[in-house]
């Protein structure tokens, strides 16, 4: 059986275009004890012939190339798969994110960090279509690594390449490592960025604030927030909301108020999310007067309370025995139903990507 006879059926219709590689592999048999990396090598001549065939047949080239790269990975011939990928990029032939994810996963399992770096750089310099799954798979390649040396080298090499949107790429890497529960390595990437070409921007800081806060690293989150002020950057509404939201989850309402007041001092206007987090937290903790004060404050600022704000307050007022206030607030909520509907329609029409938001 030819080693490529197991390729997906849809490739059969374009088989004449791939005869070059098929003939090259026909001498090899898919025997479990013989399918080693050393057995399968693509010469430059064969590779060039294949690329030439692909260029002349644009309709099916991606399907063809994807099938062969997948088969090379299955056979363990990672070096040839990487060479083929690089040659395709040189001809402006780009494959699907699924193929890149598979290649990174296979190389990562072999812990070949040098090849992983080369493939990553080649993809970044050739195209910019890498999704969040790619960065998650990349992070998983380092999950069993105890020595930080390979990751440090990997990050350094990427920075030296000076690829486009370097800081955005590093931000996505931090998210990938955080999603794979490698918080310390995510923090390490952030620390390394400070001395590299791709410096941390406000998105980087906001991402790290969320990563640390969500992981329960509250003290570390506060240190990172303080370091924003020490840099040339200034915290924005996303920074403060992330900080306040994670502080309230950890029960630090005292600090929530400190940073809420700081927002006014730094001319960062609280938004609906800010007030929602504070009203809910103070209401749940029994400080309903403070929660009511915040509700009044947001209305004075022209911020429409959400139904959730009202329902949260009504529920918490009942818990502390303030039934009359709860009924009054419920009536206010019901009388504002039309306002809620108008506001909801407006927000749907006005949706946009907030500034300093990383595209994942």
Domains: count for the chain? 1
Q: Is residue 339 part of a domain?
A: no
**323: how many CB neighbours lie within 10 A of its CB?**
11
62 in any annotated domain: yes
CB 243 within 8 A of CB 221: yes
Domain limits for position 188: 44-200
Whether 291 is in a domain gets the answer no
**Structural domain contains residue 353:** no
First CA to last CA distance, the chain: 43
pLDDT tens for the chain, residues 1 to 360:
444 444 444 444 434 434 444 444 444 333 323 334 344 455 566 566 666 655 555 545 667 777 777 777 777 777 777 777 777 777 777 777 778 888 888 888 878 888 888 888 877 876 656 788 889 999 999 988 888 888 999 998 888 877 778 899 999 999 999 999 999 999 999 999 999 888 999 999 999 999 999 999 999 999 999 999 888 899 999 999 999 999 999 999 999 999 999 998 998 999 999 999 999 999 999 899 999 999 999 999 999 898 889 999 999 999 988 888 889 888 888 887 655 544 454 444 444 343 344 433
The answer as to whether 38 is a domain residue is no
Residue 157 domain-assigned (yes or no): yes
Tell me whether residue 70 is in a domain.
Answer: yes
Residue owning tokens 């060039």? 48
The secondary structure of 74-126 as a DSSP string is: HHT-HHHHHHHHHHHHHTT----HHHHHHHHHHHHHTT-HHHHHHHHHHHHHH
**What CATH number corresponds to the domain at position 123?**
1.25.40
HEC letters along 145-185: CCCCHHHHHHHHHHHHHCCCCHHHHHHHHHHHHHHCCCHHH
Q: Is residue 285 part of a domain?
A: no
- Close Cβ partners of 208 (under 8 Å, ≥ 6 residues apart): 174, 186, 187, 190, 224
b or e along 157-171 (b: 16 or more beta carbons within 10 Å of the residue's beta carbon)?
ebbeeebeebbbbbb
Burial class (CB in 10 A: 0-12, 13-18, 19+), 146: exposed
């Amino acid at each position: 059986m030819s080693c490529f006879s197991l390729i997906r059926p849809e490739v059969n219709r374009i088989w004449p275009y791939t005869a070059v590689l098929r003939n090259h592999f026909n001498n090899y048999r898919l025997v479990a004890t013989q399918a080693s990396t050393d057995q399968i090598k693509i010469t430059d001549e064969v590779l060039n012939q294949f690329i030439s065939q692909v260029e002349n047949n644009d309709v099916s080239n991606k399907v063809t190339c994807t099938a062969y790269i997948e088969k090379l990975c299955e056979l363990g011939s990672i070096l040839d798969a990487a060479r083929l990928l690089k040659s395709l990029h040189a001809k402006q032939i780009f494959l699907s994110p699924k193929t890149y994810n598979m290649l990174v996963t296979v190389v990562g399992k072999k812990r070949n960090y040098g090849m992983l770096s080369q493939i990553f750089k080649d993809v970044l310099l050739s195209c910019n279509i890498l999704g969040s799954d790619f960065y998650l798979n990349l992070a998983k390649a380092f999950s069993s690594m105890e020595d930080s040396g390979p990751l440090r080298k990997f990050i350094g090499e990427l920075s030296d390449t000076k690829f486009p949107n370097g800081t955005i790429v590093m931000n996505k890497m931090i998210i990938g490592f955080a999603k794979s529960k490698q918080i310390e390595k995510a923090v390490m990437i952030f620390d390394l960025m400070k001395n590299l070409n791709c410096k941390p921007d406000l998105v980087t800081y906001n991402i790290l604030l969320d990563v640390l806060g969500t992981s329960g690293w509250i003290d570390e989150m506060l240190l990172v927030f303080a370091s924003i002020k020490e840099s040339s950057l200034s915290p924005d509404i996303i920074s403060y909301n992330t900080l306040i939201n994670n502080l309230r989850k950890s029960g630090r309402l005292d600090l929530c108020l400190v940073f809420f007041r700081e927002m006014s001092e730094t001319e960062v206007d609280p938004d609906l999310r800010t007030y929602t987090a504070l009203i809910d937290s103070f209401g749940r903790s029994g400080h309903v007067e403070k929660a009511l004060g915040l509700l009044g404050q947001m209305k004075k600022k022209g911020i429409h309370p959400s139904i959730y704000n009202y329902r949260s307050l009504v529920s918490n007022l009942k818990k502390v025995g303030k039934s009359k206030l709860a009924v009054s607030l419920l009536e206010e909520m019901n009388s504002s139903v039309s306002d809620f509907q108008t506001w909801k329609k407006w927000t749907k029409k006005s949706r946009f990507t907030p500034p300093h938001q990383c595209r994942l």
